[in-house]
Amino acid sequence: MRSMVLQPRSTHRWAVLGWVVGAMLLASRTWAAPSPHGPVPVQQAAQGQAPGMTFTGDAGMILYSVKAEGAADFEQIIAKLKEALAKTEDATRRSQAQGWIIFKAAEAAPGEALYVFVMNPVVKDADYNWARMFDVLPREDQVKLQELFDKFRASVIRANKLNLQTLANFSGGANGGQDPVRER
Q: Where are the domains of the chain?
A: 9-165
Identify the CA nearest to 102 among candidates 76, 123, 127.
76
**Closest C-alpha among 161, 162, 159, 160 to residue 70:** 159
> How far lies 184's CA from each of 157, 167, 181, in Å?
39, 10, 6
**DSSP at 131:** G
Q: What is the pLDDT along the chain (184 residues), one digit of tens a residue?
A: 444 444 444 444 444 444 444 444 444 443 333 333 344 444 443 344 456 889 999 999 999 999 999 999 889 888 888 988 998 899 999 999 999 999 999 999 999 999 999 999 999 889 998 877 887 778 888 888 888 778 778 888 999 999 999 999 888 765 555 544 445 4
pTM of the predicted model, to two decimals?
0.67
- As a whole number of angstroms, the distance between CA 108 and CA 126 comes to 30
Among 126, 79, 74, 66, which residue's Cα sits nearest to residue 99? Answer: 126
- Cβ 102 vs Cβ 116: under 8 Å: yes
What's the rounded Cα separation, in Å, for the pair 33 and 157? 9
pLDDT at 151 (0 to 100): 78
